[in-house]
Amino acid sequence: MKTSEVREMSIADLKDRIQLDRNKLDNMKLNHAISPLEDTSEFKKVRKDIARMITILAEKEKEQK
């Protein structure tokens, strides 16, 4: 997900999306433990997306105060 797309999202949408991506990452880890995934670079992409969303969420919450 691009940064510009994340910045357009509302705070509530960001929180929901972060939770969904965390669940996705947990499921990917579980599936990888059972049988190796073909594309393990997806872990890195999802982690970076989560970090990007958390950073932008913090910026938006700081602006509101």
pLDDT 10s per residue in the chain (65 long)? 889 999 999 999 999 999 999 999 999 999 999 999 889 899 999 999 999 999 999 999 999 87
pTM equals 0.90
DSSP helix/strand/coil, 19 = helix
Q: With b meaning 16 or more CB within 10 Å and e meaning fewer, what string describes 21-50?
A: beeebeeeeeeeeeeeeeeeeeeeebeebb
